[in-house]
Structure formats: C-alpha cells, structure tokens
Structure 1
Amino acid sequence: MTPQKRPAVPELGGRSPNYRERVVNVLRAALISGELRPGQVYSAPALAPRLGVSATPVREAMLELVKEGMVEIVPNKGFRVTAVSEQQLDEYTHIRSLIEIPTTVGLAATANPADLEALRATATECLTSAGKGDLIAYVEADLNFHLGLLALAGNEHLVEVVRDLRRRSRLYGLTALVEAGRLEASAREHLELLDALLDRDAEKARDVLTRHLGHVRGLWAARGEDG
C-alpha cells in the first residue's frame, strides 16, 4: 500500500454546533479521496483517536454513510468501505457532464459577477489544499466550489443530484497526483473556469469544464499500486 503523507482523517478537536455534520463530512471526504480504502474494514473505536473524538459520533457518522451506500456494516467488526465499479464511474461522469457542462456554461450569460467572484476564495482554498497535499480539505473545498457554482443556476434539485453523484464517487488517484506535483494544476482549473465565466466567455468555460471533468474521471479510475 502506498504510504500516506498524513493520517487518514484529521483531528477535529473541539465541538461546534455542526459537530456531528462535521464528523460525517470528514469521513465522507476520506472515503471519496481514497484514504479509507475500498474493501477495508474500519471500526469506530479505531478511527476515533485519529479524529480526536469519542467512538460514538464516529459510529453515528458511519451509520449515516451506510445510508449513502459508502460503507456497509460488518457485524462485530465495524464498517467495510464499498467499492465502485468502472461502469459506475463511467455512468457518474456521463451524468455529471450532461448536467454540469450546459448548466455552468449558461452561467456565463446569467450569473451575477459578484456571486461568481464570491467563489474565488473557495477555488483558492482548493489550490492551497492541493499544494499542502491535504486531500480531505481539497475534496471538501472542491465539492463546495462545484455545488456553489451550480447553485447560481437556481435549481436546488440539480444541485442535490450532483451532490449525490459526488458522494458515490472515489478519487483514488489524488495521492498519486500529490506525489507527482500535479494536483495543483488540476486545482487551478477552478480559477480558470471562474475567470472564463467572469469574462462571459462561454466557449472557454465549456472547454475548461470539459477538460476538468475528464481529469476527474481519470482520478476516479486510478487505483494506484494498492487499489
């Protein structure tokens, strides 16, 4: 198995009003990024110290992820990370392309420039996280950027469909991109896309997003040495 540069999940520390949601989000990001590996069984007591919390919120979070199909219960042992097939990955990418490309391209004509500019901080967070090799922070920032962009189209159901597709995905190739120094290049595409939309350049926005989603499909498929 390829050595990880950081623990599979970050320590959360103190509680907050959205504490339970935060535990769910961190574990979900760890699953999507591939830091919690398909087929492996993880117990709440084993994961809890890595998050700096007790086993109870971890167990509750994992039960929530069971509902999303990301893990399954293994009696008396814990939770097994579910695998995603190549066909499923192709289907997810195809659906995302059908939804996200025309919707995002349309924003070049309809989005308020101030709303687009407000997403620059999230795009920059993606780039910063990529530079640090912080995969979980990258996955979270990437999700917030894409869903925030789609939300500008004003269709909440569309946003939820894409959110669900992303939850079902796996970015197995993130670690390899970090080690090769290429994740930052992918992260810069968020800023490139924003600039195209602010310039009202629909064709450039289409080109950037098409390229970006193509990279995502590659990440979903890249199992690496330990996949």
Structure 2
Amino acid sequence: MSNGNDGRRRNSTSRSRSGRARWSCRGKEPGADPENPASREKTILVKTAGETLGVTARSLLPVAGVARSTYHYQLNAMKRPDKDAPLLELVREAFENSERRYGYKRIHLEPESMGVRVSAKRIMRLMTRHGLVPLFKSAKRYSSYKGELTKAPKNLVNRDFHAERPNMPWVTDLTEFSIPAGKAYLSPVIDCHDGMPVAWTIGTSPNAELANGMLTDACSTLKDGEKPIIHSD
C-alpha cells in the first residue's frame, strides 16, 4: 500500500499643527489603541502633556480632538472612588493564594463562596485589566488518539496515476455523506486504468471493518499474478 503524505506596543506621537508640541502616549492604560485612543486615554494624554510641557490643557484639546466638556468630565470621573476596589482585593487575594495558577473561572468561585454575587465576565475583565494572568496554561483536553501505530508505507505511486492496463495502481479514500437518517460513509477502491470502481462498502461508521471489507471484495476480483499497488491518502 502506498501513502501520499510526503514527507504595539509602540510609542504613539502626536503634535500640534504648528509643530511646537510633541509627546508620547505613555500614560495610556493597557488595552487602549494608540492609533484610536478613547476619551479617557486622550484626557490622560492632554493632562500629562500639559504638565510636562508647561502649557495649558485648553491649548492642547483641539490637537487631541477632545471637547472641553468631555475633558473635564473625564477628569472628574477619574477622581471618583473605584467601585471595583473591594472586589479587586478579593480577586487579587484569591489569585495569589492559588500561586497565580487560577483563571477567572476558578477565581469567580471565591467571591461567590463569600456571598458576593458577581458575574464571571466581570472577574475576567478585572483580572485582564490588572494583569492577573495565570502562570500556567490550562491542561489540554484528553484525547485517546496516540498517533500512528505503525510506520507509514512509502509512496510507491509518487503521483503517477497512469496505468497501461487494469489492476496496476488502485486508489482508495473514505467519503462522508449527510443523509436524513444521519451520516453514511463510502469506502471505494478505483482502478486508475479506466477510473471505474473495483469494489466498495457503505456503512454508518468509518472504521477498519469498512475498509477491510472493501479490500477483501476488491482482492477477490484479481487473477493469478495480479498484484496492484493500493494508494491512499
């Protein structure tokens, strides 16, 4: 038998139209896009640049594309107490107690066990925002597949499917069909000489019995001395 398997985060700069001011967006929070910063990131940028360059924030607002009202709203919002602070302490403690191994799904169980009702998505966003990332990846899903049991045969056909006479190279493959009753599988063997099927089997499971039955039926058609090469993907 022949087998056919052959062997940004970058510094984003902005400047005024006169070219007098240039600064780096170092104050942006994790997750902001330097090419399209949100109002909060723009506010931090304007405030930091104004303090660094010694200019008023009002002169920088048109350059950053932030309305004056938006700028002052964001400043006041950043002065408010962080509503996530108490929850963050619980999450951080649970994360450290797990030796930084638990993901948000496991961490979510800790506040729940203490009577704190909170969604898992909120825990996920909180952990992501504060860099609480597990040190180890989760275990891979179990699979009973252990790889090929035997070494693959050499590719004797070498993509030459021309045949001068019948029963020289045969090709075979398994095809899946969806029918109203479920799935069906066709296992044929084709003679490369004329492209006609030599034998085939049909079943509801793509197992060895299906392939072996096809091979048995195909071999029963051979005459003495005929030894075709059977090629499969």
Q: Rg bigger for which structure? A: 2
TM-score, scaled relative to structure 2: 0.25
| Structure with the higher fraction of residues in strand conformation | 2
User: RCO higher in 1 or 2 (8 Å CA, sep ≥ 6)?
Assistant: 1
